[in-house]
Amino acid sequence: MPVVLVSRAGHVATVVLNRPEARNALNPELIVTLAATWDELAADDDVRAVVVTGAEGSTFCSGFDLGTTIPIMTGSRSPENAFEQAVADDSNLAARATLRGHDLGKPLVAAVNGHAIAGGFELMLACDLRVVARGVKLGLSEVALGLIPAMGGTARLARHVPSALAMELLLMAKPVLSDSLETSGLFNRLVDAADVGSVAHEFAGVIAANAPLAVAAARSVVRASSDLSEREALELEMAESNRLAATDDAREGPAAFMEKRAPRFTGR
């Protein structure tokens, strides 16, 4: 079976991590395949939103495989196949797979249907919206292994939750139940496990129905603004607004509203 399953419905793509027998741990094959999958979806203009989830009945993702990936990344084990060699040769592959410093360029919704630990937590953190199941464990375990969360967890977490909570998750290396984080701002919805997929796809479907250029611009401004002064952020916002005003979609949206019909956005 493929370690990544990709399907499309309309303008929404779904990516499923498919190593349920290994709790969807990121082994070299999954890393290489997932990195290539993100590149493919980023280049597909027909895809306007993406949902990522774990294989049904398993975790969302338990992080990097401690038996293969971590030993290869630390140099304590020699590669034994082409996937392992690829990870050994390109230290950036793991970052691409978990979207550390690599922007998909379109909204990504995490459907966290099971535990998200270490690298799995960091992949969840890289998503724009997050729908999380009740009763699942979320955490960063790296410092208990002599490592730090290096796929964005250490750098990003305090941007999403209060610093005290970020320090607790980072320094104690103990997972916490999703239920206790419902009001933390870490995710958008906490729902029953059976509803995670449908809610995440509802989010993605609504996003995909909106004007794609406007969605991309709004997302871009939000992501860039965290590193800008308020004045710089406002200037970026205005520049994007002026650019969008000249597009066909900017004319179609108001026209459809006045004509009481669904808009037909073309991304132009």
Angle subtended at Cα 150 by Cα 145 and Cα 5, rounded to the nearest 5 degrees: 100
| Cα separation, 110 vs 127, whole angstroms | 6
Q: Within this chain, do residues 49 and 37 fall inside the same structural domain, yes or no?
A: yes
pLDDT for res 79: 85
pLDDT for res 165: 96
| Cα separation, 124 vs 53, whole angstroms | 9
- Residue 268 resides in a domain: no
Q: Within this chain, do residues 216 and 203 fall inside the same structural domain, yes or no?
A: no
CATH number at residue 47: 3.90.226.10
pLDDT in tens, 153-182: 999 999 999 999 999 999 999 999 999 999
**Tens-digit pLDDT string for the chain (268 aa):** 899 999 999 999 999 999 999 999 999 999 999 999 999 999 999 999 999 999 988 899 999 998 898 888 888 888 889 998 998 899 899 999 999 999 999 999 999 999 999 999 999 999 999 999 999 999 999 999 999 999 999 999 999 999 999 999 999 999 999 999 999 999 999 999 999 999 999 999 999 999 999 999 999 999 998 889 999 999 999 999 999 999 999 998 989 899 989 999 998 9
Q: Is 252 a catalytic residue?
A: no
CATH number at residue 229: 1.10.12
Could you say which of 29, 84, 142, 240 is catalytic? 142
Q: How many helices (H) and strands (E) does the chain have?
A: 11, 9
Virtual CA dihedral for 34, 38, 39, 42, nearest 10 degrees?
A: 170
Q: Within this chain, do residues 175 and 226 fall inside the same structural domain, yes or no?
A: no
Q: Is 168 a catalytic residue?
A: no
Return mean pLDDT, the chain. 94
Virtual CA dihedral for 166, 170, 175, 179, nearest 10 degrees?
A: 0
| Cα separation, 140 vs 158, whole angstroms | 13
As for how many domains the chain has, the answer is 2
**Residue recorded with tokens 């338990």:** 62
Q: Within this chain, do residues 133 and 41 fall inside the same structural domain, yes or no?
A: yes
Q: Within this chain, do residues 114 and 41 fall inside the same structural domain, yes or no?
A: yes
- Residue 121 resides in a domain: yes
How much of the chain is helix, strand and coil, in % rounded to 5? 50, 15, 35
Q: What is the pTM of this model?
A: 0.94
| Cα separation, 68 vs 28, whole angstroms | 7
**Residue-range definition of the domain harbouring residue 250:** 210-258
Q: Within this chain, do residues 189 and 232 fall inside the same structural domain, yes or no?
A: no
- Residue 225 resides in a domain: yes
pLDDT in tens, 101-110: 999 999 999 9
Q: Within this chain, do residues 153 and 239 fall inside the same structural domain, yes or no?
A: no
Could you say which of 29, 84, 122, 240 is catalytic? 122
pLDDT for res 226: 84
- Residue 264 resides in a domain: no
How crowded is residue 151: how many other Cβ atoms within 10 Å of its Cβ?
A: 27
